[in-house]
């Protein structure tokens, strides 16, 4: 597999859970809870770092590995959650971005002031 896609990852996650008889635990509530726990573990990685240290965390191999693992855990639970509820995560994100672009338009540049208007 050279290119990863969401559907393939969801199939692998489902197969992994099925082989261990874990589907019974993969309810929306349980998956949302697990997602929250894993997101908190990602936050914990940065808990006592300064903004500067957090910006450089990927420069430290051990810390970078922890961050990547927590990101993987968050994504795994999010993809499983979406699979159980029938949500296409990429379509959901695209739709949300469309709404946000309308809700938060790019500010117009300020009008140039007429230098002679205040004289």
- Give CA–CA dist 77/19, Å, rounded: 17
Please state the domain count of the chain: 1
Range of the domain at 10: 6-92
Q: Is residue 43 part of a domain?
A: yes
Residue 97 counted as domain residue: no
Rg of the chain over CA atoms, in angstroms? Answer: 22
With a pLDDT cut of 90, the percent of the chain lying above it is 84
**pLDDT (tens digit per residue) in 54-84:** 999 999 999 999 999 999 999 999 999 999 9
Residue pLDDT, tens place only, 94-116: 999 999 999 999 998 888 886 66
CATH code of residue 28:
1.10.287.1080
Q: Is 59 helix (H, G, I), strand (E, B) or coil?
A: helix
Q: How far apart are the first and last CA of the chain?
A: 70
Q: Which contacts qualify for 108-114: CB closer than 8 Å, 24 or more apart?
A: none
């Amino acid at each position: 597999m050279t290119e990863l896609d969401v559907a393939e990852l969801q199939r692998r996650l489902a197969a992994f859970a099925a082989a261990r008889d874990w589907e019974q635990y993969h309810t929306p509530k349980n998956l949302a809870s697990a997602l929250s726990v894993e997101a908190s573990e990602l936050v914990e990685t940065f808990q006592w770092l300064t903004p500067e240290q957090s910006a450089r965390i990927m420069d430290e191999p051990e810390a970078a590995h922890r961050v990547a693992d927590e990101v993987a855990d968050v994504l795994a639970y999010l993809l499983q959650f979406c699979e159980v509820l029938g949500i296409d995560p990429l379509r959901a994100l695209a739709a949300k971005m469309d709404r946000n672009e309308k809700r938060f338009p790019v500010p117009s540049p300020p009008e140039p002031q007429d230098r002679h208007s205040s004289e």
